[in-house]
Amino acid sequence: MSSMHALAPSAEYPITDRNRLKRRHDRGSYDRCSVHAILDAAMLCHVAYVIDGQPFCTPTLFWREGDMLYWHGSSASRMLRHLKAGTPACLTVSHLDGLVLARSAFNHSANYRSAMCFGTARIVDDPEEKAAAMRAVVDRFYPGRSDALRPLTGQEAKATTFIGMEIEQASAKVRAKGVADDEEDYALPIWAGVVPVRTVLGEVEPCPRLIDGVAPPPELGLYRAGRSLDEGLTEAQHAYEEG
């Protein structure tokens, strides 16, 4: 279950040169609700950081607990030695929602939701925090599932490293509209419109070595066939927060 702060945070993240939108301010926002909604509808993020002057961007699974973001990696990761004292990082999430075809090449676009979060990434080395992360990496997406799994071995725990980052600044950017052509172009005999894009869940594929009589777990209902992944992940986050 996500941790709670003693004091309620402000509605917006602080706006600094680091997270201030440089263009299309009309598409941006800095409020926590907008940023969290985009994060909670995702499972995959990209984390960017710099090591010895070389930029790296790593795709990884992540989850949110309040204003904290967590992700996990291998103990052999090249980033680990830079995280003992913490290192500046930027975590981003994006959703493609539509292909926008206009009457001119210049006005072609895409509908999307994106969030960019800044903070200091650090290794989770507190034993209690790491133990909680070991459960959360499963329960965030499949609420309550960790109780049904075999316990982690010492070697598995040793081989897994968790990284935490408090969101210091963040911004959300969204385009959710139709074609925006130049006024004079609407009279042109050229097709224009939007192709919606959704990630839709398919039918489950049971492990071929499943023991007879083992039924799908209740938490799998969040990801039933035909539902959008966004909806399943968002509902799972709400269930995790309330669990």
Report the half-sphere exposure of 184 (CA within 13 A, side-chain side). Answer: 0
**Which one, of 152, 120, 115, 153, lies nearest residue 137 by Cα?**
152
| Over residues 73-77, mean pLDDT | 60
Do 205 and 155 meet the contact criterion of CB atoms below 8 Å apart?
A: no
pTM of the predicted model as reported, rounded to 2 decimal places: 0.90
- Percent of the chain having pLDDT more than 70? 90
Q: Where are the beta strands (DSSP E) in the chain?
A: 28-29, 44-51, 54-65, 68-74, 87-101, 109-123, 160-166, 169-175, 193-196
pLDDT score recorded for residue 43: 96
Instruction: Report all structural domains of the chain as residue ranges with CATH numbers, in order of start.
Output: 25-242 (2.30.110.10)
Q: Is 153 helix (H, G, I), strand (E, B) or coil?
A: coil
pLDDT in tens, 25-73: 678 788 999 999 999 999 999 999 888 888 889 899 999 999 999 998 7
State the angle between helix axes of 32-40 and 229-242 in degrees (0 to 180), rounded to the nearest 10: 110
pLDDT in tens, 134-176: 999 999 999 999 999 999 898 988 888 899 999 999 999 999 9
The dihedral through the CA atoms of 125, 127, 131, 136 has a sign that is negative
pLDDT in tens, 101-122: 999 999 999 999 999 999 999 9
> Exposed/middle/buried for 5, CB within 10 Å: 0-12, 13-18, 19+?
exposed
